[in-house]
């Protein structure tokens, strides 16, 4: 009687056999395990906040625009104070420039442009000092507020300045008298000096002195060590 011999593939049925070695495994070493998959990272940047971030930026833009525009009243007062006067002469019938070769009108517009430049630099730095983190809303508010402030300063200077109706001013001055011409602005491009200066200065100051935060959502992968 022949005694059955155990199978060479599974000498002990109670213990499962080890998986066959792959072609890339070396004898006497464990199989190399693949690196664990990196965890899923959700960016905490602008896309992750959604509507609350938009509302905050709109609020910052509105507050900044109103605060900067109010400074336009100061622009109008300074323009009225520093701008050279344009003298006019009346003989009782017509109004003529007292000095046709004078450059007071050009000087008045130049003073307006310089004041807009100074206020643009001041407001740009002031907004950065109040909110060092910056933001799109602050930049938009500076641009809109600077433009509104320039228009407000222009109209304030004219309103507080000499009489804009030349007939009324000539009658009040009398025949053969001279009087000051009203302030006016013919180069409307000067209204953009303030907003451009404010936005540019704010961006430069923020880039140089602003906080250095890491980019949101950035992930630095750790080096993987393969087991041999």
Contacts of 194 (CB under 8 A, 6+ apart): 75, 116, 117, 119, 120, 123, 146, 147, 149, 150
**Minimum mean pLDDT range among 14-18, 40-44, 72-76, 125-129:** 40-44
The tens digit of pLDDT for each residue in 47-89 reads 455 678 888 889 999 999 999 999 999 999 999 999 998 888 8
| Residue count of the chain | 228
Pair of tokens at residue 89: 């002469």
User: Please, which residues bridge with residue 90 across strands?
Assistant: 95, 177
- Burial grade of 48 (CB within 10 A; 0-12, 13-18, 19 or more): exposed
> Does the structure show a pLDDT above 80 at 199?
yes
The tens digit of pLDDT for each residue in 132-179 reads 887 899 999 999 999 999 999 999 999 999 888 888 888 888 887 888
Residue with tokens 């004078």: 102
């Amino acid at each position: 009687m022949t005694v059955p011999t155990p199978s060479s593939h599974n000498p002990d049925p109670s213990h499962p056999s080890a998986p066959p070695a792959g072609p890339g495994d070396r004898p006497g070493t464990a199989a190399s395990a693949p690196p664990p998959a990196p965890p899923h990272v959700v960016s905490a940047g602008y896309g992750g906040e959604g509507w609350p971030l938009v509302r905050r930026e709109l609020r910052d833009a509105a507050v900044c625009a109103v605060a900067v525009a109010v400074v336009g009243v100061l622009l109008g007062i300074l323009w009225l104070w520093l701008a050279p006067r344009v003298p006019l002469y009346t003989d009782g019938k017509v109004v003529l420039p007292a000095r046709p070769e004078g450059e007071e009108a050009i000087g008045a517009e130049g003073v307006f442009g310089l004041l807009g430049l100074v206020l643009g630099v001041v407001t740009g730095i002031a907004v950065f000092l109040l909110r060092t983190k910056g933001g799109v809303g602050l930049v938009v508010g500076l641009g809109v507020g600077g433009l509104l402030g320039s228009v407000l300063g222009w109209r304030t200077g004219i309103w507080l300045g000499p009489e804009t109706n030349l007939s009324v001013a000539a009658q009040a001055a009398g025949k053969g008298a001279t009087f000051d011409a009203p302030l006016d602005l013919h180069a409307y491009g000067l209204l953009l000096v303030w907003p451009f200066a404010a936005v540019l200065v704010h961006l430069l100051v923020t880039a140089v002195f602003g906080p250095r935060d890491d980019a949101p959502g950035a992930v630095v992968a750790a080096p993987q060590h393969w087991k041999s």
